[in-house]
A and B are shown apart, each in its own frame.
Chain A
Amino acid sequence: MKGFKLILIFFLLILCTVQSAGASETARTFLDGIKDYKENRFTESAAAFSRVADEGIKNGKLFYNLGNAYLKNGDIGNAMLWYERALKLLPHDPDLKFNFEYAVSLTKDERGDKEYPLVRILFFWKYLLSQTQTQWAAIIFNLIFWALMTIRLIRRKNRFQTIGHVMLALGLIFTFTAVYNDYETNFIKEAVILPARVSIRSGLTDDATELFVLHAGAKVKIDKEKDDYIRIAFSDGKIGWIKKSDAGVI
């Protein structure tokens, strides 16, 4: 029994050591990326940040750094891709918004996903809060409403009518928004054009008719996937096929 305990402790120690070694290696790569960036070695910096991201770390700040490194390296396509990914996690970060707007100003194609001011006014909370904030708002209002309902049940008193209605309305609004956001995340796939110039074609071959041309940084919706090609939708009914490698999924 004593021997078994010793083996267990030894095994746990090894596990902890391996884990901390892995973490320190990732941190070192991250710091290398920062150092390369500061010394204007943007290709090396982007490669270092990419290695960290490849380890499965999903963090808005890391994605922001990747966007910066690619932008400084003159790769507007990848810069826009990583800024878009970062915006999903840090929608209100001022640095990110500033750099993203600057990157947008460098792209050649007008943005296809035009936002309508009326929609922004009518559904302001969708644009004001991040996806996580909307989810928590829905959960909290929902919880308060059901708590009031439960108290009414237990106390058998017709109380909290006004506040109950308010909580119900808010709970419904935020629940629908959270569900729609969740649908957008899981079912509406978007991508960014990576090469400087891409021909959008009518078919799944390189010699298919060129329908229109997009440039690096253009944001498109992924409509369909087939073999090594994806069908993308830009704006005003502009759809066509491009190679998967020409677009980075956000």
Chain B
Amino acid sequence: MIGRKWNCWVFVTFFAILTLCASVHAAEIQAVVDRTRIGPGESLELTVSVKGGEGTVDISPIRDFKVLSGGTSTSVQIINGRMSKEVNHSYTLIPLKEGRLVIPPLTVMTDKTPRKTAEIIITVSPKTQDQTGGQDVFAEGKISNPSPYEGEPIIYTFRLYNAVQIANAQFQKPEFSGFTAKEVEKSQKTYRTALNGREYNVTALTILLIPVGAGPKTIDPAILECDVVRRQSTRRSPFGMLDDPFFGQNSLEHRAIRTEPLSVTVKPLPPFDGNGQFSGLVGEFQIQSQVDKTSLDVGESATLSVTVSGTGNIMDASAPEIGIPDAFKSYKDAPQEKIQPGVNGYAGEKVFRTALVPLKEGQYTLEPIALNFFDVPSGRYRTRLTAPVSISVHPSREKDKIEVYAPPASEARPLKKNVEFTGRDILPLKEDMNALETQIPMTTVWLWAFLLTPALFCLGVKVYLTRTTKKDDPSSLMAQRAEQALKDASQPGIPAEEFLTCLSRSLISILLSRAGIKGESLTYAEAELILKSGGFSEEAARSATRLLERIDSARFSSQGMDLESRETLLSETRELVRKIS
């Protein structure tokens, strides 16, 4: 009884210890900020601590702030033999608006268990008339023109004001969506200025923007992360030397500074109603043309240079339309450009070169080349024209001297172009009355009837000829004799002399059958003649007589024949008999 009670106590105690352990090891989470009241452009630090374990923090619910990750730190403590671990997730929050902003409860996943932090309220004081807002570090972004035309370059300037020393500055440019952006080279400058009676060090950066497409656009805030240097040593040392900042104990305060978002309304270009084609250029431009030779011979080349220069989106300039007389062949060269982004937009020139080769002598004039562009100050399209260029073409002096260099006559013709449809439609109806006649295709039965009839006719002729041929006809008689002799030669055990006689008889009989005469013997010449007159080729006739000769020579010589030679001779004779018959 006592033993059972003891067991029960042990079980309860063990369970209590287990529960305690479990509660001790459950992770604790906490979210804290370094301050709850900030000014415009200032940032705050958010730290999410996970004690007694590890976890992942979901920061996606934060809407009122731009979140920059500050990294993760881990600390481990051992007190009285117990180990505790703490993981801190740090974030820099930059407010996106003024007023009462909320950091909502954040979900932290620890050991597959979601836990939530408490909600935190942050008050962002409104912007004061004072540009500095009483801050020792702040930044501003400005654009040169909030309502540019489509394609008109504008300048974005970022300025950082710092009244205190800063270090480790990291600048994050806005994305400039809806613009093409290019940083102006050597535009970064530093100067000092006084604002509200306080001296600031100013660092300025210039970026050139060209709006792509019309409509309202927003330039996102630029963000600058830096460490503000704070001096902690306030007590003066008895030794003046140690009051130098070099020996002071400074601390770094991490700050994230942002500019305000900027709104830009891009105006569309008015419809172009001038002559020719709009070049797509927006700004102020000039056009010039020049020919390196105004007097040349046929076949000699001259270079026409058209220079488009000015300020604006000049890099978009395309080759202008040039009215080249038909008497010239032209070869365009790749354009050369010297363009630099500057504080007034892109400026420079683009040169389009075309090689001109005259094909005929005469006096020619290159018509003025027009450049249509949009002039921003006047809000109108303008046209600039080049001066007309006269070119004198003289007959080729080398023509008579070296004919090989003269261009072929065909090349003098204008270049051929691929003919393309200029309109699409179908061809007209067929109005013939034979459209009412039924086109009956041949049926399968008729097709087979037409195909088989000639074959059947041929077969019929064969049968007819076989049946009508008289039995005492010399041809059939000799053919039968040839077959019989071949059969006799095939008999096993037949003596060699008799075998050869049968073969000879068979061949002679089939040749006589072909000639339609009865007989027993033939000369080689007669045999050859019979075959030739029967439509056989000379070669076939000669090989037949050669076989006959071989048989006869074997027959009349006393040499014996082996089995293989007999078989060869028999098969050759049989083949020839079949061929002749």
Tally of A-B Cβ pairs under 8 angstroms: 104
Q: Tell me the residues in window 454-468 of chain B with beta carbons closer than 8 Å to chain A beta carbons.
A: 454-455, 457-458, 461-462, 465
0/1 string, A172-192, CB within 8 A of B gives 1: 000100110010011000000
Query: Does chain A have a CB within 8 A of B241?
Result: no
Query: Does chain B have a CB within 8 A of A107?
Result: no
Q: How far is the CB of B579 from chain A (nearest CB, A)?
A: 8
When the two chains form their complex, are residues B429 and A157 in contact, meaning their CB atoms are under 8 A apart? no
Q: How far is the CB of A85 from chain B (nearest CB, A)?
A: 11
Q: A178-B447, A182-B444 are in contact. Are A52 and B436 (CB under 8 A)?
A: yes
0/1 string, A26-65, CB within 8 A of B gives 1: 1100100010010000000000000010001111111011
With both beta carbons as reference points, the residue of chain B lying nearest to A186 in the complex is identified as B444
Q: How far is the CB of A220 from chain B (nearest CB, A)?
A: 23
When the two chains form their complex, are residues A62 and B435 in contact, meaning their CB atoms are under 8 A apart? yes
Secondary structure class of chain A's binding surface, majority of residues: helix
Interface residue from A30, A105, A135 paired with B435 (Cβ < 8 Å):
A30
Q: Which residues of chain A have C-beta atoms less than 8 A from B451's C-beta?
A: 138-139, 142, 175
Interface residue from B430, B435, B534 paired with A95 (Cβ < 8 Å):
B430
16 sample A-B contacts, Cβ–Cβ < 8 Å, listed by A number: A27-B436, A52-B436, A57-B436, A58-B439, A71-B426, A95-B428, A103-B426, A135-B442, A139-B447, A142-B454, A146-B454, A146-B458, A149-B458, A150-B461, A158-B536, A175-B451
Q: Which residues of chain A have C-beta atoms less than 8 A from B444's C-beta?
A: 182, 186
Query: Does chain A have a CB within 8 A of B440?
Result: yes
0/1 string, A131-167, CB within 8 A of B gives 1: 1100100110011011101100110111101000000
Q: A89-B439, A139-B451 are in contact. Are A146 and B457 (CB under 8 A)?
A: yes
Instruction: Given A27-B436, A59-B434, A153-B465, output 7 extra A-B contacts at Cβ < 8 Å.
Output: A57-B436, A103-B426, A143-B454, A157-B534, A159-B535, A178-B447, A182-B444
Query: Does chain B have a CB within 8 A of A98?
Result: yes
Q: How far is the CB of B438 from chain A (nearest CB, A)?
A: 5
Q: Which residues of chain B have C-beta atoms less than 8 A from A156's C-beta?
A: 475, 514, 534
When the two chains form their complex, are residues A147 and B454 in contact, meaning their CB atoms are under 8 A apart? yes
Docked CA distance A107–B256 (Å): 60
When the two chains form their complex, are residues B432 and A58 in contact, meaning their CB atoms are under 8 A apart? no
When the two chains form their complex, are residues B438 and A56 in contact, meaning their CB atoms are under 8 A apart? yes
When the two chains form their complex, are residues A139 and B450 in contact, meaning their CB atoms are under 8 A apart? yes
Query: Does chain B have a CB within 8 A of A244?
Result: no
Docked CA distance A95–B475 (Å): 63
Q: Tell me the residues in window 495-520 of chain B with beta carbons closer than 8 Å to chain A beta carbons.
A: 514
Query: Does chain B have a CB within 8 A of A199?
Result: no
0/1 string, A65-95, CB within 8 A of B gives 1: 1001001100000000000000001000001
When the two chains form their complex, are residues B430 and A146 in contact, meaning their CB atoms are under 8 A apart? no
With both beta carbons as reference points, the residue of chain A lying nearest to B444 in the complex is identified as A182
Docked CA distance A135–B446 (Å): 10
Q: A27-B433, A57-B436, A142-B451 are in contact. Are A132 and B458 (CB under 8 A)?
A: no
Q: Which residues of chain B have C-beta atoms less than 8 A from A182's C-beta?
A: 444, 447
Q: Which residues of chain B have C-beta atoms less than 8 A from A138's C-beta?
A: 447, 451
Q: Which residues of chain A have C-beta atoms less than 8 A from B427's C-beta?
A: 95, 98-99
Q: Tell me the residues in window 174-231 of chain B with beta carbons closer than 8 Å to chain A beta carbons.
A: none
Q: Is the interface on chain B under 10, 10 to 19, 20 to 34, or 35 or more residues?
A: 35 or more
Docked CA distance A135–B440 (Å): 13
Q: Which residues of chain B have C-beta atoms less than 8 A from A30's C-beta?
A: 433, 435-436
Query: Does chain A have a CB within 8 A of B34?
Result: no
Q: Which residues of chain B have C-beta atoms less than 8 A from A175's C-beta?
A: 451
Docked CA distance A119–B429 (Å): 33
Q: Which residues of chain A have C-beta atoms less than 8 A from B442's C-beta?
A: 132, 135
With both beta carbons as reference points, the residue of chain B lying nearest to A175 in the complex is identified as B451
Q: Which residues of chain A have C-beta atoms less than 8 A from B426's C-beta?
A: 68, 71-72, 98-99, 102-103
With both beta carbons as reference points, the residue of chain A lying nearest to B432 in the complex is identified as A61
Interface residues of B (CB under 8 A from A): 424-442, 444, 447, 450-451, 454-455, 457-458, 461-462, 465, 475, 514, 534-536
When the two chains form their complex, are residues B436 and A154 in contact, meaning their CB atoms are under 8 A apart? no
Q: A135-B447, A150-B457, A150-B461 are in contact. Are A59 and B429 (CB under 8 A)?
A: no
Q: Which residues of chain A have C-beta atoms less than 8 A from B432's C-beta?
A: 61
Interface residues of A (CB under 8 A from B): 23, 26-27, 30, 34, 37, 52, 56-62, 64-65, 68, 71-72, 89, 95, 98-99, 102-103, 105, 131-132, 135, 138-139, 142-143, 145-147, 149-150, 153-154, 156-159, 161, 175, 178-179, 182, 185-186
When the two chains form their complex, are residues A146 and B439 in contact, meaning their CB atoms are under 8 A apart? no
Docked CA distance A161–B535 (Å): 9
With both beta carbons as reference points, the residue of chain B lying nearest to A148 in the complex is identified as B458
When the two chains form their complex, are residues A65 and B430 in contact, meaning their CB atoms are under 8 A apart? yes
Docked CA distance A245–B186 (Å): 75
Docked CA distance A134–B488 (Å): 51
Q: How far is the CB of A168 from chain B (nearest CB, A)?
A: 12
Interface residue from A58, A65, A103 paired with B440 (Cβ < 8 Å):
A58
Q: Which residues of chain A have C-beta atoms less than 8 A from B429's C-beta?
A: 34, 37, 64-65, 68
Interface residue from A64, A139, A150 paired with B458 (Cβ < 8 Å):
A150
With both beta carbons as reference points, the residue of chain B lying nearest to A52 in the complex is identified as B436
Interface residue from A62, A72, A159, A178 paired with B436 (Cβ < 8 Å):
A62
Docked CA distance A159–B532 (Å): 11
Q: How far is the CB of A175 from chain B (nearest CB, A)?
A: 6
Q: How far is the CB of B482 from chain A (nearest CB, A)?
A: 15
With both beta carbons as reference points, the residue of chain B lying nearest to A58 in the complex is identified as B438
Q: How far is the CB of B75 from chain A (nearest CB, A)?
A: 60
Docked CA distance A103–B427 (Å): 11
Q: A71-B426, A149-B458, A157-B534 are in contact. Are A34 and B431 (CB under 8 A)?
A: yes
Docked CA distance A89–B444 (Å): 16
Q: A59-B437, A182-B444 are in contact. Are A158 and B534 (CB under 8 A)?
A: yes
Docked CA distance A185–B441 (Å): 11
Q: Which residues of chain A have C-beta atoms less than 8 A from B462's C-beta?
A: 153
Docked CA distance A156–B455 (Å): 18
Docked CA distance A127–B504 (Å): 56
Q: How far is the CB of B431 from chain A (nearest CB, A)?
A: 6
Q: Which residues of chain B have C-beta atoms less than 8 A from A149's C-beta?
A: 458
Q: Which residues of chain A have C-beta atoms less than 8 A from B536's C-beta?
A: 158
Interface residue from B435, B441, B455 paired with A61 (Cβ < 8 Å):
B435
Docked CA distance A237–B298 (Å): 64
With both beta carbons as reference points, the residue of chain B lying nearest to A94 in the complex is identified as B427
Q: Which of A23, A56, A61, A89 has the most chain B CB within a 10 Å cutoff?
A: A61
Q: Which residues of chain A have C-beta atoms less than 8 A from B431's C-beta?
A: 34
With both beta carbons as reference points, the residue of chain A lying nearest to B514 in the complex is identified as A156
Q: Which residues of chain B have C-beta atoms less than 8 A from A68's C-beta?
A: 426, 428-429
With both beta carbons as reference points, the residue of chain B lying nearest to A93 in the complex is identified as B430
Identify the 6 closest CB pairs spanning chains A and B, nearest first.
Answer: A146-B454, A61-B435, A158-B535, A61-B430, A159-B535, A99-B426
Docked CA distance A134–B76 (Å): 94
Q: How far is the CB of A206 from chain B (nearest CB, A)?
A: 35
Q: How far is the CB of A83 from chain B (nearest CB, A)?
A: 10
Docked CA distance A179–B455 (Å): 17
With both beta carbons as reference points, the residue of chain A lying nearest to B437 in the complex is identified as A59
